[in-house]
Amino acid sequence: MTEATGTTEAVEADRALKTGHRKMWALGDYSAVAAELIPDLGATLVEACGVRSGRRVLDIAAGTGNAAIPAALAGAEVVASDLTPELMDAGRKLAVERGAEVEWREANAEALPFTDGEFDTVMSCLGVMFAPHHQAAADELVRVCGPGGTIGLISWTPEGFVGQMFAAMKPYAPKPPPGAQPPPLWGQEAHVRELLGDRVTDMEARRQTVRIGRFDEPDAFREYFKANYGPTVATYRNIADDAGKVAALDRDLDDLALRHADASGSTALDWEYLLVTARRSA
């Protein structure tokens, strides 16, 4: 095999992988998940990044604009980039409804179409963590941030509820391609420090939780995610022809919710995430 052939095959494999990711996040209704379960997380990140009027901000893997819209409402000039056009279409409608001016750009987090140092703030709320090649994504978010600029991230932790949900789904999901890394690794401080390296200073990382009180019963949580959350929809589709596996995954997700139930038996859930802010080195 020649080097050129290998390169071509690698490019095609990556294109297929990104196409799969795009299709996965278009499944269900992530706009509902963001609006109904975690509506304040984007604003939490915007505040932590100190976004203000006059700043040029890039929201990577912005989804429906959970962070991009609050940043625009704070007066910043905001570009929201995402791999999935369907999510951006929903985000555009939300931005108009809330009176926020946001520029939407389709973009791969691992190969951003922006110049070096173009932004004062580069952030991602539960987005860049799903790019399969972590170092490539980290290199890009650092590259497009100007010297002295702010990098801000919110990612689910491996030990938290959502990280455990991904662990529960893993045996039933399609096998990840070679080189792809688990998204919740971005929720480990040591991993993020290694990814960013000495290209940033003043990095701060703290674990926080968001309270989810929507679900009265474990099966309500499970059915909501089966209908609305792309990765869960895709996992169930992968095993749709095996009733035994479907039932087993139902049980595993119900057990997960029960383990996180409070003393009253309610399935109000505390979802843990890692909030990271850092300065781009001069």
Domain membership flag for residue 241: no
Tokens of 188: 């480990």
Q: For residue range 53-63, what is the model confidence (pLDDT) as tens digits?
A: 999 999 999 99
Q: Which domain holds residue 126?
A: 3-158+176-210+273-280
- Rounded to the nearest angstrom, the gap between the alpha carbon of residue 227 and the centroid of all alpha carbons in its chain is 18
* pLDDT the model gives residue 1: 33
* pLDDT the model gives residue 265: 56
Relative to beta strand 102-106, strand 119-125 is unpaired
Domain membership flag for residue 232: no
Q: Which residues pair with 59 in a beta bridge?
A: 80, 123
Question: What sections of the chain are H helices per DSSP?
Answer: 3-26, 30-36, 41-48, 68-73, 85-98, 134-143, 161-169, 189-196, 218-228, 230-238, 243-259
Residue type, 165: M
Span 5-29, average pLDDT: 83
Residue 4 has pLDDT above 80, yes or no: no
- Beta-sheet strand order (sheet of 200-212): 102-106, 77-82, 56-59, 119-125, 145-156, 269-280, 200-212
What 255-263 contacts at long range (C-beta under 8 Å, 24+ apart), as own/partner pairs, is: 255/218, 256/161, 256/164, 256/165, 256/168, 257/215, 257/218, 257/221, 257/222, 258/218, 260/161, 261/218
Domain membership flag for residue 53: yes
Residue 125 has pLDDT above 60, yes or no: yes
253 and 224 in contact (C-beta within 8 Å)? no
Span 196-220, average pLDDT: 94
Residue 143 has pLDDT above 50, yes or no: yes
Rounded mean pLDDT of the chain?
93
Q: For residue range 83-119, what is the model confidence (pLDDT) as tens digits?
A: 999 999 999 999 999 999 999 999 999 999 999 999 9
pLDDT confidence bin for 194, thresholds 50/70/90: very high
Domain membership flag for residue 218: no
Domain membership flag for residue 220: no
* Residues above pLDDT 90, as percent of the chain: 83
Span 127-147, average pLDDT: 98
* DSSP string over 178-242: TT---GGGGGSHHHHHHHHGGGEEEEEEEEEEEEE---SSHHHHHHHHHHH-HHHHHHHHHTTT-
Span 42-54, average pLDDT: 98
Residue 164 has pLDDT above 70, yes or no: yes
- Rounded to the nearest angstrom, the gap between the alpha carbon of residue 183 and the centroid of all alpha carbons in its chain is 8
Domain membership flag for residue 84: yes
From CA 187, how far away is CA 163, in angstroms rounded?
9
Span 267-279, average pLDDT: 91
pLDDT confidence bin for 5, thresholds 50/70/90: very low
Task: State the pTM of this model.
Answer: 0.93
162 and 183 in contact (C-beta within 8 Å)? no
Residue 42 has pLDDT above 80, yes or no: yes
Backbone phi, psi, residue 202, to 5°: 55, 40
Residue 177 has pLDDT above 70, yes or no: yes
Residue 6 has pLDDT above 70, yes or no: no
Question: Total domain count for the chain?
Answer: 1
User: How many Cα atoms within 13 Å fall on the side-chain side of residue 246?
Assistant: 12
pLDDT confidence bin for 14, thresholds 50/70/90: confident
C-alpha distances (whole Å) from 59 to each of 10, 52, 208 are 27, 14, 21
* pLDDT the model gives residue 98: 97
> Residue for token digits 């700043």?
55
CATH number at residue 95: 3.40.50.150
